[in-house]
Amino acid sequence: MSKTIITAAITGGIHVPSMSPYLPLTVQEIIDESVRAYEAGAAVVHVHARDPKDGRPSSDIEVFREILTGIKARCDVVVCISTGGRVGMTPEERIATVKELKPELASFNTGSMNFALYPLLSKIDNFKYQWEKDFLEATEKLVFQNTFDVLKHFCKSMEEIGTRPEIEIYDISMINNTQQLINEGFLKDNLYLQFVMGILGGIPASVDNLLYLYNTSKKTFDDFQWSVCAAGKFQFPMGVTNLVLGGHMRVGLEDSLYIAPGELAKSNAEQVEKAVRISRELFREPATSEDVRKMLGLKGIEKVNF
């Protein structure tokens, strides 16, 4: 049985501070959570930055640099930088951090879509910061823009610096988009896919839909490895189903703030520990960071610029 790549998506840019006191916000919290997730068995950490003042999603390269330098000083985890950005950010702002810091892996979102977070508003009674409410409300009008010109620009930028794209597939159409990029020479086969399920605007999280994504990928691509992440209560059901299929699994507070129904996770590491336990029960050892470098053909930690 192949090893499982467990990714921890540490803080993301979706949940807001009022939703959980355990969501890491400051540079130090994001570093500490990443290292603890690594120690618990995550081979990859998926990193977003937040404004240390009030926890709003940030694209500040210097904040990213501080986070990544701090992580690298303490462990050799593979860092995947997000190029998802946040409401109102231009594509150039979204890729700038990757161009500067040259990570081994970066997210690559393969299509435009609605990305609606406003239903979260009804779950929050007291907002700690006004920006949280404004931010969630604004997603009612948001188009997450990933047109082909943006996709090609991101592919070229990543290829120039040897960063491997983690290909985020939020819906079946994005498999088609990815194949088009292969046909035009912007991506090579031997892909690393991340199925992202349960975002309002993307494919709903269900076993049928996971099979649909997997089977369509098998029919479309010659060679790929794949992981899944799913929003909220679907995080573990989709992750575990994917382990059974032979794929990999992402956990982390970016995707779900919970460890059990109604029980907030106190850390990313708590979710990683659970993923490790389940994976081992299925006779799949968690991959180490060095395993992942070989499995995904990454350039190596010595070639990053942080």
Using CB under 5 A, list all residues that contact Zn ion: 12, 82, 84
Shortest Cβ distance from residue 291 to ligand KMH (Å)? 22
Q: How many CB atoms sit inside 10 A of residue 77's CB?
A: 25
Which pair of tokens denotes residue 106? 């970066």
Nearer to ligand KMH, 84 or 239 (CB): 84
Residue 253 C-beta: closest distance to Zn ion, Å: 11
Contact partner at residue 252 from ligand KMH, Zn ion, none, CB < 5 to 8 Å by partner kind = none
Give the whole-angstrom CA distance, residue 284 versus residue 286. 6
Pair of tokens at residue 300: 């190596």
109 binds, among Zn ion, ligand KMH, none (CB under 5 to 8 A by kind): ligand KMH
Tokens for 93, please give them: 């702002």
Helix 27-40 to helix 61-74 angle, to the nearest 10 degrees?
Answer: 40
Q: Which is nearer to ligand KMH, 231 or 301 (CB)?
A: 231
Least gap, CB of 210 to ligand KMH (angstroms): 15
Give the span between the Cα atoms of 100 and 68, in whole angstroms.
Answer: 12
SS3 category, 110: coil
Beta carbon of residue 173, minimum distance to ligand KMH (angstroms, whole number): 16
Please say which residue, 272 or 281, places its beta carbon nearer to ligand KMH.
Answer: 272
Choose from Zn ion, ligand KMH, none: what does 196 bind? Cβ within 5-8 Å by kind.
ligand KMH
Q: Under the rule (CB under 6 A), what is the footprint of ligand KMH?
A: 9, 12, 14, 46, 82-84, 107, 109, 168, 196, 199, 254
> Least distance to ligand KMH from the beta carbon of 166, Å?
8
Q: Which is nearer to ligand KMH, 119 or 294 (CB)?
A: 119
Q: Which residue is nearest to Zn ion (CB)?
A: 82
Select from 36, 46, 58 the least CA-distant residue to 5: 46
Nearer to ligand KMH, 12 or 286 (CB): 12
Residue 218, class by beta-carbon neighbours within 10 Å (0-12 exposed, 13-18 middle, 19+ buried)? exposed
Identity of the residue, 41 or 252, whose beta carbon is nearer to Zn ion in the bound complex: 252
Say which residues have a Cβ less than 8 Å from residue 163's Cβ, sequence separation at least 6: 98, 102, 103, 104, 105, 106, 299
Q: Which residue is nearest to ligand KMH (CB)?
A: 84
Q: Least distance (Å) from ligand KMH to the CB of residue 84?
A: 3
Q: Which of 154, 59, 166 is nearest to 107 (CA)?
A: 166
